Amino acid sequence: MEASDLTYLTFAIVVALVLLPAGIGLAYGLVGTTAMLIATATETGHPNFDAGVVMLVLTVAIFASRGFVGKADELEIARDEIRTLAVAEERARVARDLHDVLGHSLTTITLKAGLARRIMESSADIDRALAEVHDVERLSRQALTEIRATVSGYRKMSLPAEIANARATLLAAGIDADLPQAVDDVPGELQEPFGYVVREAVTNVIRHSGASRCEIRLGPSWIEVADNGSGSSTVDNHGGNGLAGLRERLAKIGGRLTATPRGEGGFVLRAEVTT
């Protein structure tokens, strides 16, 4: 086999490795190398191992490089998918958190503003009405701060603070509140999700239940918010954005959310995390 023949064969192998599917190209290269060794052995009595090694190395190198390129493409596709999923998850988080912030804050602001109006209409007690207006201003600023923290991803939820806010909001709504004085029994990692439960549940009690009393009970792995109202929104298993958001939060930590009617009237929203 002459040098020109080796050149043509090598060129053909390179073309096959580049243009054909990887497995077929590899087979073509190995068969071509073997055929060259047989041909040179037949012609000269000695296989041209030097040319064979060159062709074999070239075949393996091109095959491997195609594999690396393919893996790089797959990796880039995977990265794109991860980025897409991350964007979708972030959008879901912002939507869920904004619902929590705005639902509770606007409910409380509406209650406080209405209370200030009723005070001025019924008694003209300016000092008391101004106190409620100041609360409205404070709550508005607090809501704005929480919205900014939500968008930036630095918002934190405090269970004791949510219980304190619930007490004040229920009082403003004229609803008797029986709430825990301490949350020491609740592990630190559950206080944030339970804080979201308190916020959403109390907001629903005020807006939808028509209740005159609200109770919150809690333990190391569970929390319950109960009312004596007649509204039905808190037992909607499809839950709307608020309860759906709570279910998502709890599911991520192995918990679940249930809403059931009470025998004596009203409803119980219970969140429980399996430990």
Instruction: For the chain, give every domain's residue range.
Output: 3-80, 158-275
**The pLDDT value given to residue 15:** 61
Please provide the average confidence, as pLDDT, over all residues in the chain. 77
**The pLDDT value given to residue 207:** 84
Enter the tokens of residue 224: 């319950």
Alpha-carbon distance 210 to 229, whole Å? 5
Model pLDDT for residues 133-170, shown as the tens digit of each residue: 888 888 888 787 777 777 666 667 789 988 998 998 89
Nearest partner of 194 among 149, 244, 242, 250, judged by Cα: 250
**The pLDDT value given to residue 239:** 44
Give residues with Cβ within 8 angstroms of 247, minimum separation 6. Answer: 239, 256, 257
**The pLDDT value given to residue 236:** 47
**The pLDDT value given to residue 233:** 45
Residue spans of the chain under pLDDT 70: 1-63, 65-71, 86-87, 90, 151-155, 231-241, 275
**The pLDDT value given to residue 137:** 84
Alpha-carbon distance 190 to 157, whole Å? 11
Nearest partner of 197 among 101, 93, 95, 271, judged by Cα: 271
**The pLDDT value given to residue 197:** 93
Q: Which CATH superfamily is domain 158-275 in?
A: Histidine kinase-like ATPase, C-terminal domain (3.30.565.10)
**The pLDDT value given to residue 168:** 86
**The pLDDT value given to residue 242:** 74
**The pLDDT value given to residue 195:** 92
Model pLDDT for residues 21-38, shown as the tens digit of each residue: 666 666 666 666 666 556
